[in-house]
Chain A
Amino acid sequence: MTEKTASHNPLSNKERIKLPRQRVPEQEPQVRAHNFREVNLGFPPQQARQESLRCIECPKPGCIEKCPVSVNVRAVIDLILAGDYLGAAAKVREDNALPAITGRVCPVEDQCESGCVLGKKGEPVGIAYLERFVADWERESGHYGLPASAPATGRKVALIGSGPASLACAGDLIQMGHWVHVFEALHELGGVLVYGIPEFRLPKEIVHHEITVLRRRGVVFETNVVVGKTVTIDELIGEEGFDAVFIATGAGLPRFLSIPGEHFNGVYSANEFLTRVNLMRAYRFPEFDEPLYPSKDRDVIVVGGGNTAMDAVRSSLRLGAKSASIYYRRTEKEMPARVEEVHHAMEEGVHFEMLVNPVEFLGDEKGYLTAVKCIRQQLGEPDNSARRSPVPIEGSEFVVPCQVAIVAAGTSANPLIQSTTPRLATTKRGYISANEDTLATSKPGVFAGGDIVTGGATVILAMGAGRKAAKSINEYLKSLDSAANDVEKVAVN
């Protein structure tokens, strides 16, 4: 077959299967637990090449199938083997606008790497590390080829929010020749990539670089605009002349546990804790002004089992916590966090307490948190979500001293836009209703995607939604053009 001869891999499949998966260099756990620098150091070229040699070039690659944006992994790996790292990066960019980001934060064990044939008997190819390698190579080389955009269409699109969904959408729309204007509520661009995900997992510099690239391609960014407050969707479409709007405002309001004592000083939502640490750089206080109730030499408990919980607990370690623990109401098996994050947290010395649920926060007379009262649980019958729901064990209450508690119990929909946009349909839980295939909402010209539609999910799923939205927005704008032509024809006749 021609595909075989095109391969740059000199090894036979037998030889490839025998190669061990390359271990990515990391900062030592004892060292990294005390700094905010990136944990994974990334492959050097030699290791990237070595890992690429393991790919057996399946005729029907499961990795591509399992990728929410269908990156052509096989072709990328072959370009790495050919030594054409920039070409490999360009190949990723055909389907993924933010490879340096996804290469760091994608839950690959459920996506590309879960589709890798090698994973059935041994370990899958380290696809995320390879993606990150080519993206970093490209950024550090400074050879950034800006893809050519289509001629200007004269159509204006407003993107609400500057997180992963919006950035992916912006990349595609600008390429199609549309005018793209991104509105961000905060003072810094990047959404969850800058306020949520910590520096040690995704350096801000990388996010800024991707945004600079979009800016150079002509995307306009405006910070400090809270759509729903500063301007409404109807005003954007009416007075400001936007032809289409993409709402990608993210997950929204933090959920608390609704247990007594949540107002004590020292109890945080994970959103607030991470926003102070990441967006506001409170870990660099007093050089940065934003304060944080100190974790140093204190016992910190994080309630929850998702990536946000892992980010919070690992941040508190880095802030000098005496002890940092995860309290989760189910077992490790049910934890929604990425396996790698849980593993990293364990290596760094995070304590895990499973099958426990806080029932009350306790504080001193001045209102500062001193302890949390919990109850032990056991797994009962599977519930509606097919997960076995935990049942409290009577009489098993216990009290653990802690001075900082961070609640990472998920989020609910922020109603800001829904409540200020007439005729925008929402779900029972308050998220925006959007057509699964087109992401069109009930309002003509208005599309929505990412966490504001699905509820809390992943960066790559949001990016997938952004790309899907770009495609249907493009179709919608074309339909406006042909409608306008029809009107002209009628007028001429």
Chain B
Amino acid sequence: MFPIVAARPLARNIKLFEIKAPRIAKKQRPGQFVIVRLAETGERVPLTIADAHPEAGTVTIVVQAIGKTTMLLNMLEAGDSILDIVGPLGKPSEIEKFGTAVIVSGSVGTAMAYPTARELKRAGNKVISIVGARSKDLLVLEDAVREVSDETFVMTDDGTAGEQGLVTKKLQELVDQGVVHYVLAVGPVPMMQACANVTAPQKIKTIVSLNSIMVDGTGMCGGCRVLVNNSSQFACVDGPEFDASQVNFDVLTQRNNMYREQEKRSIERLQADPQSELKKLRENNLRRSCALDAALIEVTQ
């Protein structure tokens, strides 16, 4: 059981959690992720680590409610607990002095891009951030990004914040100015694919963080396999970051659609009566922590 010590909404359907998980807090590096399970009947979902405080023993995750588990998770508050959280998983981001690094992120992807941007800045890079979202109310962590970036551009589809347009528009401008040495793109698959297309002609080193479907996250199942340079790679252990020029984005999109029908059904079940699902989750967590206490008492006696 992992207590939630703080929880606050960042944007529409996006919430930030600080979770007590000392082992993960101590080991996490930018670019890595955790896998979370909420209930005994729950699924395992990978979520980005946005930050960590090793002294306090907490990790920060930013969650967008898109599936059943993330919707249920975003109903939780400080004082609730997370049944299972495991990590840090995946390889950390490659941190080097590249020169000028452009960090492109879409909506909740900013949570994953932010710690890498900060490390790249510390490593002596000039960091330019492009933060995108459909609309102002979906923008997250803009201030945090500004703090670690030399320049920050905000792009929205509807122009409600920053400049109107796609992140690729800004990326193209920067590339045309000819000063980009490294690009990290984190966000929806079409966005990452579009960024890869922008940087491909000039062969600018471009890294994307892939969000494929996972189960165990340790390389055991192979469900998260992606086609990279025409061979199967496991996003959980070989990634999640890969060289964008070698990634087959069509296969990634296709595989991420594999469970659409079931996902829809699970969401409908939750939405039929979300409050009772939440109540059930809280009761089960309470029962579980009582059982753990009892077991602990038995062991120490």
A residues less than 8 Å from B136 (CB atoms): none
Contact yes or no, B232 A263, CB < 8 A = yes
Contact yes or no, A263 B221, CB < 8 A = no
Contact yes or no, A293 B258, CB < 8 A = yes
Contact yes or no, B24 A281, CB < 8 A = no
A residues less than 8 Å from B174 (CB atoms): none
Q: How far is the CA of A183 from the CA of B291 in the complex (A)?
A: 19
B residues less than 8 Å from A285 (CB atoms): 262
Q: How far is the CA of A350 from the CA of B68 in the complex (A)?
A: 35
Contact yes or no, B262 A229, CB < 8 A = no
Contact yes or no, A275 B295, CB < 8 A = no
Contact yes or no, A289 B220, CB < 8 A = no
Contact yes or no, A416 B299, CB < 8 A = no
B residues less than 8 Å from A256 (CB atoms): 222, 225, 232
CB distance from A89 to the nearest CB of B (A): 23
Tier of interface size on chain B: 35 or more
Q: How far is the CA of A488 from the CA of B216 in the complex (A)?
A: 48
Given A225-B23, A229-B87, A230-B88; A265-B257 close (CB under 8 Å)? yes
* Binary per-residue interface labels of chain A (361-381) against chain B in the complex, 1 for a CB within 8 Å, 0 otherwise: 000001100000000000000
Q: Decide yes or no whether B280 CB sits under 8 A from chain A.
A: no
Contact yes or no, A263 B299, CB < 8 A = no
Contact yes or no, A280 B43, CB < 8 A = yes
* Central interface residue in A253, A272, A275, by most chain B CB within 10 Å: A272
CB distance from A72 to the nearest CB of B (A): 31
B residues less than 8 Å from A195 (CB atoms): 216, 220
Q: How far is the CA of A224 from the CA of B216 in the complex (A)?
A: 10
Given A269-B222, A275-B215, A416-B218; A289-B42 close (CB under 8 Å)? yes
Given A186-B216, A229-B89, A281-B41; A220-B299 close (CB under 8 Å)? yes
Contact yes or no, A414 B254, CB < 8 A = no
Contact yes or no, A253 B222, CB < 8 A = yes
Q: How far is the CA of A292 from the CA of B265 in the complex (A)?
A: 13
**Interface residues of B, dominant DSSP:** mixed
Contact yes or no, A366 B254, CB < 8 A = yes
B residues less than 8 Å from A293 (CB atoms): 258-259
* Binary per-residue interface labels of chain A (238-273) against chain B in the complex, 1 for a CB within 8 Å, 0 otherwise: 000000000000001110100000110100110110
Q: How far is the CA of A269 from the CA of B225 in the complex (A)?
A: 10
Q: Decide yes or no whether B126 CB sits under 8 A from chain A.
A: no
B residues less than 8 Å from A280 (CB atoms): 43-44, 215
Given A215-B295, A263-B225, A286-B266; A254-B83 close (CB under 8 Å)? no
* CB < 8 Å neighbour of A272 from B221, B232, B299: B221
Q: Decide yes or no whether A14 CB sits under 8 A from chain B.
A: no
Contact yes or no, A185 B299, CB < 8 A = no
Q: Decide yes or no whether B37 CB sits under 8 A from chain A.
A: yes
Given A271-B222, A291-B263, A416-B237; A185-B43 close (CB under 8 Å)? no
Contact yes or no, A230 B87, CB < 8 A = yes
Contact yes or no, A262 B218, CB < 8 A = no
Contact yes or no, B43 A291, CB < 8 A = yes
Contact yes or no, B222 A263, CB < 8 A = no
CB distance from B287 to the nearest CB of A (A): 16
Q: Decide yes or no whether A69 CB sits under 8 A from chain B.
A: no
Contact yes or no, B232 A367, CB < 8 A = no
Q: Decide yes or no whether B205 CB sits under 8 A from chain A.
A: no
Contact yes or no, A252 B299, CB < 8 A = no
CB distance from A107 to the nearest CB of B (A): 23
Q: Decide yes or no whether B54 CB sits under 8 A from chain A.
A: no
Contact yes or no, A185 B41, CB < 8 A = no
Q: How far is the CA of A60 from the CA of B139 in the complex (A)?
A: 77
CB distance from A482 to the nearest CB of B (A): 29
CB distance from B212 to the nearest CB of A (A): 11
Q: How far is the CA of A229 from the CA of B28 in the complex (A)?
A: 9
Q: How far is the CA of A367 from the CA of B222 in the complex (A)?
A: 17
Q: How far is the CA of A292 from the CA of B266 in the complex (A)?
A: 13
Across the two chains, which residue of chain A brings its CB closest to B221? A272
For window 271-328 of A, CB contacts with B under 8 Å fall at 271-272, 275-276, 280-281, 285-293
A-B pairs with the 6 shortest C-beta distances? A367-B254, A291-B262, A272-B221, A289-B43, A291-B259, A187-B84
* Sampled A-B contacts (14; CB under 8 Å): A185-B86, A185-B216, A195-B216, A220-B299, A224-B84, A224-B85, A253-B234, A262-B225, A262-B232, A275-B220, A286-B265, A288-B41, A288-B43, A289-B39
With A230-B23, A276-B215, A289-B266 already in contact, 6 other A-B pairs whose C-beta atoms are closer than 8 Å: A224-B85, A252-B220, A256-B225, A269-B222, A290-B43, A414-B218
